[in-house]
Amino acid sequence: MMSARREQVRKRRQVLQRVIDVTKSIGKCALGYRGSKNEAAHSLADMSVDHGNFLEILLLLSKYDSCLQQHVQDCIQKSQSSTGKGRGSRVTLMSKTTVCSVLEAIRQLIKETIATEVNQAGMYTVQIDTTQDITSKDQCSVVVRYVTESSIQEKLLAVVECKSSTGEDFLKLLKETLATCKLDVKNCIGNSTDGAANMQGQYRGFSAWLSKEVPTQMHVWCYAHVLNLVMSETTGVVITAASLFGLINEIAVFLRDSYQRMNVWEGVSQDPQHRRISLIGETRWSSKDAALKKIFGSFAQPKNALYVDLVETLSKIQNNLQFKPAVRVKAHAFIESLIKYETVLTAQLFLRVFTLTSPLSKYLQTNAMDLLTAHRMVTETHNKLQDFVRDFDTVKDAADNLVKWANGGFQNVDSEMEVQAALPPKRMKKRKTMPGKSAYEENTTADSLTAYRINVHNIILIQSLSVCTAASCSTGI
């Protein structure tokens, strides 16, 4: 009996080892574990249904593993022969309970490893932020940043459900999380958050409450968040900029809403990969840069741009009587906006700005960011933006280059389209003389480029530069 018992334990351990390996592999690939149904042991004999990733991988392995195969067959037979509702002795090791237990053990081991490294480092900083999951519960991510002998580490310590979003409650949540890992809050030398009032409020924000616990800790407003907020505000500071990005997003939605329009796009597109126009997301900071580059190419380099293909696609939709009149009218309006010189000029202006801000934003979001390198990149970006403020001619030359390239592309496909090569004349407002003198009205044509440079180019760059300067001073970077 003792020998049989040992043999049974040995086989169960082998099965559990395979279960653990499958669980780790699924987690590594960031896949779902469970299926929507068909997870019962008696259903495993039916290979025509979907049992979920975890069970399907185990069933696949059982075809080539005698130990696992015998275990699966035993579980199926016991489940089919049993009439009781209770689980009894049917410990399958393949249920959701086993998976949850394995995941919980892995979570605890990871937290212990991180806590050991943090305690060895002696000091650390924390980063916290919240977001809602698909069940509308507010989840708070707690990240610790510390230095080991070899590198800078930035690890997710916990994801905790947040019941209240006040600064004091965030401090309690942080202390409870650190306590479970046996980390002393007194060793926290800094924190980084976004710009919300409950985070960095002067009196009742999370940083203020943490300073009462650890007076020497320093608060840093996440500079990547600051920079991205600046760029979001800059893209809407003037109506010309807001119209450009609104136009790009509307065209992307317009084409994606119908497979017939997408067929026209794929038939016209000369790009071998048939790239699609990108949508602009509210929280994906790089989406505006990506969408702009796809249509207009890189700054002053329109070689890989989809601008000509896009205008040709909209032109075919406009002239195709099979489409509804409302669709054709919308396509015509998009063409009229795309071929404006003002649109091309504004696109080149933002492409130039994005050549500086996008690499900086990506670097500031890396976990192994070096502060000296970040400081150097911020300083260089600030200085180059200052140089761009008075350098409107370079933007105009880039716009002229794209216009020449696009018009040449239209000629190659025998299209009657033509991009505007200059801004239309701008009428000045009526003016009157000083009171007491004879009034007169004067209609003159203003220099359109000068008006654009003052009202669009300079405002966009000065806005981004001034807010960027204020943010850098507030963060200490």
pLDDT at 443 over 60: no
Q: What is the pLDDT of residues 79-89, one digit of tens each?
A: 877 655 444 45
> Of 104, 99, 103, 75, nearest to 87 (Cα)?
75
- The CB-based long-range contact list for 144-153 (8 Å cut-off, 24+ gap) reads 144/114, 144/118, 144/183, 145/192, 145/367, 146/117, 146/118, 146/121, 147/121, 148/117, 148/120, 148/121, 151/368, 152/367, 152/368, 152/369, 152/370, 153/117, 153/367
pLDDT at 275 over 80: no
306: phi then psi, degrees, rounded to nearest 5: -100, 20
Q: Over the chain, what is the mean pLDDT?
A: 84
Confidence of residue 20 (pLDDT cuts 50, 70, 90): very high
Q: What is the pLDDT of residue 413?
A: 67
pLDDT at 242 over 60: yes
pLDDT at 63 over 80: yes
Q: What is the pLDDT of residue 283?
A: 67
Q: What is the pLDDT of residues 387-407, one digit of tens each?
A: 888 889 999 999 999 999 988
pLDDT at 162 over 70: yes
Predicted model pTM: 0.71
Q: What is the pLDDT of residues 97-131, one digit of tens each?
A: 888 999 999 999 999 999 999 999 989 999 998 88
How many angstroms separate the first and last alpha carbons of the chain? 71
Contact 144, 119 (CB under 8 A): no
Q: What is the pLDDT of residues 204-218, one digit of tens each?
A: 889 889 999 899 888
- What tokens does 468 get? 């960027």
Average pLDDT over residues 315-342: 92
The domains located in the chain, with CATH, are 2-80 (no CATH), 120-221 (3.30.420), 228-475 (no CATH)
